[in-house]
Chains A and B, each alone.
Chain A
Amino acid sequence: MREVSKSYAGFNANKKVNFNLKHGSIHAIAGENGAGKSTLMKVLFGLTKPNSGEILINGEKKSFKSPLEAIASGIGMVQQHFALSGVISALENIILGAEPQKFGFINHKEALTQLTQIAKDNLNVPWERETNSLPIGEHQRIEILKLLFRKAKILILDEPTGVLTPKEVKRFFELLKNLKAQGHSIVIITHKLDEIFELCDEVTVLRRGQVTGHFKVSSITKDDLVQAMIGRRLKNLPKEKSFAQNDAPSVLKVQNLLVSKPGRGKLSGISFQIKPGEILGVAGVEGNGQQTLVEALLELEKYSGQIFFESKNTKNLNVRRDLNYGLISEDRHHQSLWLDESVANNSVIGLSSRFLKNCFLNFKAVSEFSEKVLKKYDVSMQNVQQKVSGLSGGNQQKVIIAREIDGRAPKLLIASQPTRGVDVGAIESIHESIISLAQNGSGILLISSELEEICKLSDRVIVLRNGEISAEFMGPQYDTQKIGEAMV
């Protein structure tokens, strides 16, 4: 790709970007959220037209009006959010839109023969099972098979590991290396440094729409890469000391919390407490009761047992309104944001009653408030009147963090996956905010599937397994091996 530029409403998503993909290599596109990685790949895949620049494939100039034309030229892309229908079989999902036919009917037999050939040994999925019943890791493989079935030689994968468990990631990497050996070229959009070093041959770094570096992975260090991504070095502050006030009365005290539910997500009588200034980490594989715990603490789920906030029983209270709990939900689009509204209005969800002027909402005050709390997070946006759906994921997360931590200044913060899908620079500022909230004497419940994050921030760690606390560890140093063992 040569000198590709693309701008949206005056905002330069890509500015004269050059990108070369070699045959049979794995090439990472790295950069912060909103750096223009996805835009560049959307141009390559024909999802959007560049304002200027050209695309050459095997030296031949191409211009794609739609993904169909890109697919015809051997390019395939897996979007960050999978595009699979849950109610049809894996096989049907793969052939959807390119079905081998016989007398106008779908020729399942022929499809299966073709697929088993493509899949060989390492890509087999249960072809006939309903897609919904398969784990996420299989969904990823189905998406890749979709591309291979359409004879793609160039595979573009947008944040492919975001939803995979560590074990699935390992399998997935082996698969990609195999594909590489078979002569496929792979582009991975990512902001996870470890992945780049483990998997990729080359990396192109984007920052604010421009290329800030193109490296052979074998010849650079992590620090160089971070420097290119965020324009500075990470301060990499370790959390120096604990702010937990162990003698003070607990902020949150949970006793025998029991939620009975069929299947996953039950809680079988857990107890714990959080002191002022303490960060309690909850580790565990997702789906072991974390969501239920959050819902119960918010009084949105019926439970037996008792929950005390500063020695007050919270049963049936509206804890968000009356006790000012801070909350970072794991699904930011559906649980934290109001997507078709402005950034400013999103900054005051749950706080809006503080901005009354006579009977009306004072939108000027709302905007000022939004600007004030967002200031230190360096959100890349035009202004606070912009729709929040137009921001990148990391920037959306910053809006939520600013609202829940700086806007609310809560005594108790429930942070569920606070840095999911967020780039390194933003992770750093989110972590700083959480630590400084603890420093001010608030209690924090940190639920995360990133073990590294838990170990870095927590004063104490409990592990949730199948609705029970399977182990407890005291900080500041943790043996991640042991925590990992307690998880499964």
Chain B
Amino acid sequence: MKNFKESLLSVLAGIVLSLIITSLLGESPITIIKTMYYSVFSSFDQLSYVLFYTTPLIFTGLSVAVAFHAGLFNIGSEGQLYIGSLFTTFFSLTFLNLPSFFAITGAILFAFLGGGLWAAIAGFLKAKRGSHEVIVTIMLNFISYAVCGYFILGAFKNPHSQNPESAEIGLQYHLHRFSGDAPLNAAIFLAIFCAILTWLLLYKTNWGFEVRLIGSSLETARRSGINIKRRLIEAMFLSGGLAGLVGVHEILGHAYKFKDQFSNGLGFVGIAVALLARNKPLMVLFSALLFGALSKSALDLELDTEKITRDMALIIQGLIILFVAASQRRKNAS
């Protein structure tokens, strides 16, 4: 509860400070608040856009949170979501005659598998050789960009396009959309389902008990008979798998093809999402919603005001993270 209050305060402080900055730039804070409010709440369509931006952040937020519970800092969600997308693209372009249910189920499993295996490499190296996961996942990010580019421009290439993107997936793979205009799709249910499942796994199962023990008291875990190496690899697999599901949202729900470099940092924003949610899976839902709303309203700020650009969202995000980090620091000190 106290954590929740602190997170809320951090958000408020971030927004207030940003408003002060914008008034220094000569935009009235009231205009900005109005614009942001309308951008998010004025119609069902607007709200759908917000939820559309929220969905991938839920996946990446959960991804970072899970790894964190095992004491691992997974900076590689970005790369894992690309490999997940690659796997799901591969599945969709390979099995062309499946009925929709099996097609989508298979594509989801492949997205999870792809991201999971990619992250498990870092988990494996950590468990067997002690290689630091931060370094390994950062490096794997770069490799993933190259690997995806290779396939998109090669085996999966769209022959009718000059853009760096894969061929389109079949209609049976398309996820349900909720309104004509907004790209909000059924992947959001998958995201909410994953949040609940992650929460159950971490807090209600023996697996989660052991993983959390490893994360917060490694030496006790080592002396208690827990199979640490295995748990670390499994936790990384789950973490990467969740990131990989961004591919479901993007490929099956939004673009219907793999556009090179589509993510543009979703995996890194996931770190902020998890931080604000204090790694609590259910809180990730709300924290992702906030970041989704920020992304959406920043776009409208750019359109509707003269002096503010979409970087406003980045500034607010940055300030929020700063305040969250500051409040945690204080607790550690006391």
Interface of chain B, main secondary structure: helix
A343 close to B (CB within 8 Å):
no
**Interface residue ranges of A333-392 to B (CB < 8 Å):** 334-341, 345, 349-350, 352-353, 355-356, 359-361
Docked Cα-Cα span, A329 to B220, in Å, equals 9
Q: Which residues in B have their C-beta under 8 angstroms from that of A338?
A: 213, 216-217, 220
Given contacts A360-B204, A361-B206, contact A298 B213 (CB under 8 A): no
Closest CB-CB distance, A359 to chain B, in whole Å? 6
Q: Which residues in B have their C-beta under 8 angstroms from that of A352?
A: 206, 209-210
Nearest-CB residue, chain A, relative to B226: A350
Given contacts A318-B225, A361-B204, contact A349 B213 (CB under 8 A): yes
Given contacts A350-B225, A361-B204, contact A334 B216 (CB under 8 A): no
Q: Write out, one digit per residue, whether chain A residues 246-282 have a CB within 8 A of any chain B CB (1) or not (0).
A: 0000000000000000000000000000000000000
What's the interface size class on A, roughly?
Answer: 20 to 34
Q: Is the CB of A349 within 8 A of B216?
A: no
Docked Cα-Cα span, A336 to B217, in Å, equals 9
Most chain A beta-carbon contacts within 10 A, residue among B222, B223, B227: B223
Docked Cα-Cα span, A321 to B224, in Å, equals 8
Closest CB-CB distance, B221 to chain A, in whole Å? 8
Q: Which residues in A have their C-beta under 8 angstroms from that of B213?
A: 338, 349
Docked Cα-Cα span, A360 to B197, in Å, equals 12
Docked Cα-Cα span, A341 to B210, in Å, equals 12
Docked Cα-Cα span, A356 to B220, in Å, equals 21
Nearest-CB residue, chain B, relative to A323: B225
Nearest-CB residue, chain A, relative to B210: A352
Contacting residue for A349 out of B200, B204, B224, B227, CB 8 A: B224
Given contacts A359-B205, A360-B204, contact A339 B217 (CB under 8 A): yes
Q: Which residues in A have their C-beta under 8 angstroms from that of B206?
A: 352-353, 355-356, 361
**Interface residue ranges of B216-258 to A (CB < 8 Å):** 216-217, 219-220, 222-227
A327 close to B (CB within 8 Å):
yes
Q: Is the CB of A361 within 8 A of B225?
A: no
Nearest-CB residue, chain B, relative to A356: B206
Interface residues of A (CB under 8 A from B): 298, 300, 318-322, 327, 329, 331, 334-341, 345, 349-350, 352-353, 355-356, 359-361
Q: Which residues in B have their C-beta under 8 angstroms from that of A300?
A: 222-223
Nearest-CB residue, chain B, relative to A321: B225
Docked Cα-Cα span, A350 to B209, in Å, equals 10
Query: How many residues on B have C-beta within 8 angstroms of the other chain's C-beta atoms?
Result: 17
Q: Is the CB of A334 within 8 A of B217?
A: yes
Docked Cα-Cα span, A349 to B227, in Å, equals 13
Docked Cα-Cα span, A121 to B216, in Å, equals 46
Contacting residue for B219 out of A320, A327, A334, A353, CB 8 A: A334
Q: Is the CB of B217 within 8 A of A350?
A: no
Closest CB-CB distance, A96 to chain B, in whole Å? 17
Contacting residue for A335 out of B205, B210, B219, B225, CB 8 A: B219
Most chain A beta-carbon contacts within 10 A, residue among B200, B220, B226: B220
Please name 19 further chain A to chain B contacts, defined as beta carbons within 8 Å, in addition to the given A334-B220, A353-B206, sorted by A numbering.
Answer: A319-B225, A320-B224, A327-B223, A334-B217, A335-B219, A335-B220, A336-B220, A337-B217, A338-B216, A340-B216, A345-B209, A349-B220, A350-B225, A350-B226, A352-B206, A355-B206, A359-B205, A360-B204, A361-B205
Q: Is the CB of B223 within 8 A of A335?
A: yes
Q: Which residues in B have their C-beta under 8 angstroms from that of A341?
A: 216
Q: Which residues in A have their C-beta under 8 angstroms from that of B226?
A: 321, 350
Docked Cα-Cα span, A221 to B227, in Å, equals 52
Closest CB-CB distance, B98 to chain A, in whole Å? 30
Nearest 10 pairs between A and B by C-beta? Answer: A320-B225, A350-B224, A321-B225, A360-B204, A338-B217, A334-B219, A350-B225, A349-B224, A352-B209, A335-B219
Docked Cα-Cα span, A319 to B220, in Å, equals 15
Q: Which residues in A have their C-beta under 8 angstroms from that of B224?
A: 320, 349-350
What are 6 A-B residue pairs whose CB atoms fall within 8 Å in the complex? A298-B223, A318-B227, A334-B220, A337-B220, A350-B225, A352-B209
Docked Cα-Cα span, A320 to B223, in Å, equals 8
Q: Is the CB of A361 within 8 A of B209?
A: yes
Q: Which residues in A have their C-beta under 8 angstroms from that of B210?
A: 352
Docked Cα-Cα span, A423 to B213, in Å, equals 29
Q: Which residues in A have their C-beta under 8 angstroms from that of B200?
A: 360
Docked Cα-Cα span, A355 to B205, in Å, equals 10
Q: Write out, one digit per residue, whether chain B residues 76-93 have a CB within 8 A of any chain A CB (1) or not (0).
A: 000000000000000000
Q: Which residues in B have their C-beta under 8 angstroms from that of A320?
A: 223-225
Q: Which residues in B have their C-beta under 8 angstroms from that of A337?
A: 217, 220
Q: Which residues in A have their C-beta under 8 angstroms from that of B223?
A: 298, 300, 320, 327, 329, 335-336
Nearest-CB residue, chain B, relative to A327: B223
Nearest-CB residue, chain B, relative to A340: B216
Nearest-CB residue, chain A, relative to B218: A334
Closest CB-CB distance, A217 to chain B, in whole Å? 38
Docked Cα-Cα span, A319 to B227, in Å, equals 11
Docked Cα-Cα span, A341 to B220, in Å, equals 13
